[in-house]
Amino acid sequence: MTDYFCDHCGDTSALPFHGSFLCPICSAKVGLQEAAASHLHELMNPVIRQWAAHWGHTFTPKDLAVILALEGESWGGSTDQPDEDTALAYLKRVTGDQA
């Protein structure tokens, strides 16, 4: 049997998990991170929708995406140029492309 190495920690007891190989400890951690991300999305989705609907009459979707990306940076994101494309994609997803 071939041993697979964990893509996160290098452990040899890794098994396939979402297109990569993870050991039991890392697969639990990744699963919990995915659950946390999904929970945050569900909490923020109605707020972002309302915000976009309110400001969408004043700003373009790209302008709103820049503001959204900057807000994400204030919570510990990158300090480089805001990731406008990711923020714009998120904004379009949560507003049903109506921003």
Please tell me the distance from the alpha carbon of residue 44 to that of residue 38, in angstroms, as a whole number: 10
Please tell me the distance from the alpha carbon of residue 88 to that of residue 82, in angstroms, as a whole number: 11
Q: Residue 42: how many CA atoms within 13 Å on its side-chain side?
A: 6
Please tell me the distance from the alpha carbon of residue 86 to that of residue 33, in angstroms, as a whole number: 19
Per-residue pLDDT of the chain (99 residues; tens, 9 = 90+): 567 889 888 887 888 888 889 998 999 999 999 999 899 889 988 998 899 999 989 998 888 888 887 777 666 555 555 566 777 777 777 677 655
Q: Which two tokens stand for residue 26?
A: 């890392």
